[in-house]
Amino acid sequence: MADEGEEPEAEDGEDEEEGGKKKGGLKKKLLFIGLPIVLVLLLGTAGALMFLGGDKAEDAEHASAEDGGDGHGEAAAAEHGPDPVYYELPAMYANILNDDDEISVLQLIVMLEVDSEATVHLIEPLLPRIVDRYQGFLRELRMDDVKGSAGYYRLKLELLRRVNLAVAPVVVNDLTIDTLLVN
pLDDT tens-digit map of 30-85? 778 888 888 888 888 887 787 776 555 455 555 544 555 555 555 555 566 788 89
Host H or E run for residue 178: strand 174-182
Q: Is 148 left (phi over 0), alpha (psi -120 to 50) or beta?
A: left
Per-residue pLDDT for 13 more than 50? Answer: no
Residue that terminates a domain, selected from 79, 105, 139: 79
Arithmetic mean of pLDDT, 150-169: 93
- Model pLDDT for residues 114-154, shown as the tens digit of each residue: 999 999 999 999 999 999 999 989 988 888 888 888 989 99
Supply the pLDDT for residue 54.
53
Structural domain count of the chain: 2
Q: ω into residue 90 within 30 of 0, thus cis? A: no
Supply the pLDDT for residue 49.
80
Domain containing residue 43: 2-79
Q: Checking DSSP bridges between strand 92-97 and strand 103-114, what pairing results, if any?
A: antiparallel
User: Does the pTM of the predicted model rise above 0.75?
Assistant: no
Residue that terminates a domain, selected from 45, 79, 113: 79
Radius of gyration from C-alpha coordinates of the chain: 34
- Do 67 and 90 share a structural domain? no
- Do 103 and 50 share a structural domain? no
Q: Which residues contact 109 (CB under 8 A, 6 or more apart)?
A: 88, 89, 90, 91, 92, 177, 178, 179
Residue that terminates a domain, selected from 79, 98, 127: 79
- Do 178 and 139 share a structural domain? yes
- Do 91 and 178 share a structural domain? yes
- Do 98 and 56 share a structural domain? no
